[in-house]
C-alpha cells in the first residue's frame, strides 16, 4: 500500500487490470511512448508492448469506433480521449454505437469498453479542455458513467468499470489528478458501480455532488458545521445509473437538498436529481431543492473560470439559504 495521487492510482489500476486480464488493451492519442499527456498510462507501453498499448492517430471517432470493434471481438479496450470536450467528435460512436450494440443485436454482441476521459475546469486550460458532459451521457441509454472524487475510488471504480460487461465512461476530474495523495491498496479491488457513498454524515441538509466538486462540498460542509449546520455529503461515484436510493434515504432524513455540479444548469444532471427528489419525496421536503452549478454559458476563458465553477463559498451560501428557508 502506497500513498498515491489520483493519476497514479489510475495508472496502477490500469497496470493491475492488464496484468490480470490479457484482453485489456489501451488505445488513444499519446498514451504510449509519451505515457499520456497527464502520465496516466506511463510505463504501460514498456510493460505490455505495442499490441496492448497503442498510440493512435488524432482521431476521436476512430479511437472509440475501433475500440467498439475490439470489444465486440472479445477484447476489453480502455480507450482514452484526451479531454471531455474532444468527446464531442466521438459522440456519435459513443451514444449511437457503443451504447446500442447490445440493443441492436438483442444481446448477441456486447461492448465492454471503458472510455477514460479527463474533465472539468479551473486548471487554466484553453477552450474545450474544461467541459463536463455527464448529463449528455446520462440521457443516452446503454452507456454508464462513473467519476471518482479521490485516489482510492479512482482505482476501485476503474477496475469495476473494466470488469463491467457494458460500455462505461470513466470521467477523471482533472483538477483532482494531483491535488491529494492517499493510501491505495496495491492489488485488485473494485467499488461496485451504481452505488453512491455518504462521504460525510450530517442531519440538516444533504449535498449531492460527484467527482471534481466533492472536495469543494466537503470543505463547504466543514465551514457550515462551524456555523452549527450539520451537512451530509453524498458522493454519487456512479453518475449514471443514479443511485436514487442513497439520495432519497439521505434527503428523507435531512429534508433538505443542495445539488452541485460544474456543467451548465439547464438540463444538467442536477435537474434529474432535483426532479427525482421532488417527485419521490416531496412530502419530506422542508425547503425547495437548490442547484449550485456552472452557468448556461460555454465554459469561459481562464481569467474568469473560477467564477464559473461552483466554489466553496457558493456551495456554503446555498446551504445557508436552504437551511434558512
Partner 1 sequence: MVAKTRSTTKDATRRYHPIQILSPEGELLGPSPTIKDEELVKMLKFMIVGRTFDQRALSLQRQGRIGTYAPISGQEAVQVVSAMCLNDDEWMFPTYRDYAAMYVHGMPMRDLFLFPMGHPQGGRAPEDVNIYAISISIATHLPHAVGAAWASKIKGEQKAFITYHGDGATSEGDFHEAMNFAGVFQVPLVTICENNGWAISLPRERQTHSETIAQKGEAYGINSQMVDGNDVLALYQVVSESLERARTGQGPTFIEAVTYRLGPHTTADDPGRYRSQEELDEMKQKDPLVRTTKYLRGLGLLSDAEEAEMWEDAKATVSDALKEAENIAVPNQDFFFDHVYAELTPNLIKQRREFIPEEAE
Ligand X SMILES: Cc1ncc(C[n+]2csc(CCOP(=O)(O)OP(=O)(O)O)c2C)c(N)n1
Q: Catalogue the active-site residues.
A: 129
Of the listed pieces 48-56, 82-90, 189-197, 290-298, which binds ligand X according to CB under 6 A? 82-90
89 binds partner 1 (CB under 8 A): yes
Which of 2, 19, 20, 34 is close enough to bind partner 1 by CB under 8 A? 34
Name the phi and psi angles at 83, rounded to 5.
Answer: -145, 155
Position among 47, 58, 267, 321 found at the interface with ligand X (CB under 6 A): 58
What is the footprint of partner 1 within residues 197-226 (CB under 8 A)?
A: none
Complex with ligand X: residue 53 or 289, whichever CB lies closer: 53
From 9-17, 81-89, 277-285, 317-325, span contacting ligand X (CB under 6 A): 81-89
Q: Is there a contact between 169 and 115 (Cβ–Cβ < 8 Å)? A: yes
Q: Within 13 Å of residue 91, how many CA atoms lie on the same side as its CB?
A: 13
How far apart, in whole angstroms, are the C-alpha atoms of residue 267 and residue 259?
A: 13
- Write out the DSSP string of 64-97: HHHHHHHHHTT-EEEEE-SSGGGSGGGHIIIIII
Identify residues 299-318 at the interface with partner 1 (CB under 8 A).
300-308, 311, 313-314, 317
The Cβ of residue 113 has, within 10 Å, a number of other Cβ atoms equal to 31
Q: Is 104 in the site for its own copies (CB under 8 A)?
A: yes
Query: Smallest gap, in angstroms, from Cβ of residue 59 to ligand X?
Result: 8
Residue 298 within binding range of its own copies, rule CB under 8 A: yes
Q: What is the C-alpha end-to-end distance of the chain, expressed in Å?
A: 46
| Interface with its own copies (CB under 8 A), residue from 47, 58, 123, 128 | 128
Residue 139 in contact with its own copies, rule: CB under 8 A: yes
Region 23-62 residues binding its own copies, contact defined as CB under 8 A: 61
For residues 258-297, one letter each, b for 16 or more C-beta atoms within 10 angstroms of the residue's C-beta and e for the rest, the string is bbbbbbbeeebbbbbbbebbeeebeeebeeebbbbbbeee
Applying the rule CB under 8 A, the residues between 248 and 277 that interact with its own copies are 263-264, 266-272, 274-277
Task: Give residues with Cβ within 8 angstroms of 126, minimum separation 6.
Answer: 302
Our finding on whether 37 is near partner 1 (CB under 8 A) is yes
Give helix 214-226 / helix 312-324 axis angle, nearest 10°.
Answer: 50
Task: Write out the three cell numbers for 151.
Answer: 485516489
Q: Choose one: 51-59, 137-145, 154-162, 217-225; the region binding its own copies (CB under 8 A).
A: 137-145
For ligand X, the binding residues (CB under 6 A) are 29, 58, 60, 82, 86, 89
Amino acid at each position: 500500500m502506497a500513498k498515491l495521487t489520483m493519476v497514479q492510482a489510475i495508472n496502477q489500476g490500469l497496470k493491475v487490470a492488464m496484468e490480470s486480464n490479457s484482453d485489456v488493451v489501451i488505445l488513444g492519442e499519446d498514451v504510449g511512448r509519451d505515457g499520456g499527456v497527464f502520465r496516466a498510462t506511463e510505463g504501460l507501453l514498456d510493460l505490455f508492448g505495442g499490441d496492448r498499448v497503442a498510440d493512435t492517430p488524432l482521431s476521436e471517432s476512430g479511437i472509440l469506433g475501433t475500440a467498439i470493434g475490439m470489444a465486440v471481438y472479445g477484447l476489453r479496450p480502455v480507450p482514452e480521449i484526451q479531454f471531455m470536450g474532444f468527446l464531442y467528435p466521438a459522440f456519435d460512436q459513443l451514444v449511437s454505437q457503443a451504447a446500442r450494440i447490445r440493443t441492436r443485436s438483442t444481446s448477441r454482441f456486447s461492448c465492454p469498453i471503458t472510455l477514460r476521459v479527463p474533465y472539468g475546469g479551473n486548471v487554466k486550460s484553453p477552450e474545450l479542455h474544461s467541459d463536463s458532459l455527464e448529463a449528455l451521457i446520462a440521457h443516452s441509454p446503454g452507456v454508464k458513467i462513473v467519476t471518482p472524487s479521490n485516489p482510492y475510488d479512482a482505482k476501485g471504480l476503474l477496475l469495476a468499470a473494466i470488469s463491467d460487461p457494458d460500455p462505461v465512461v470513466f470521467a477523471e476530474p482533472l483538477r483532482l489528478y494531483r491535488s491529494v495523495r492517499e493510501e491505495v491498496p496495491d492489488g485488485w479491488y473494485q467499488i461496485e458501480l451504481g452505488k453512491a457513498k455518504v462521504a460525510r454524515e450530517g442531519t440538516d441538509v444533504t449535498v449531492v455532488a460527484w467527482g471534481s466538486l466533492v472536495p469543494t462540498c466537503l470543505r463547504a460542509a466543514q465551514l457550515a458545521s462551524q456555523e452549527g449546520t450539520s451537512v451530509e455529503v453524498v458522493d454519487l461515484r456512479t453518475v449514471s445509473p443514479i443511485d436514487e436510493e442513497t439520495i432519497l434515504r439521505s434527503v428523507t432524513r435531512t429534508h433538505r437538498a443542495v445539488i452541485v455540479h460544474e456543467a451548465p444548469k439547464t438540463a444538467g444532471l442536477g435537474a434529474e436529481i432535483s426532479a427525482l427528489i421532488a417527485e419521490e419525496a416531496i412530502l419530506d421536503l422542508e425547503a425547495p431543492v437548490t442547484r449550485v452549478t456552472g452557468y448556461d454559458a460555454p465554459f469561459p476563458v481562464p481569467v474568469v473560470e473560477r467564477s464559473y465553477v461552483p466554489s466553496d463559498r457558493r456551495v456554503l451560501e446555498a446551504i445557508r439559504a436552504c437551511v434558512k428557508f
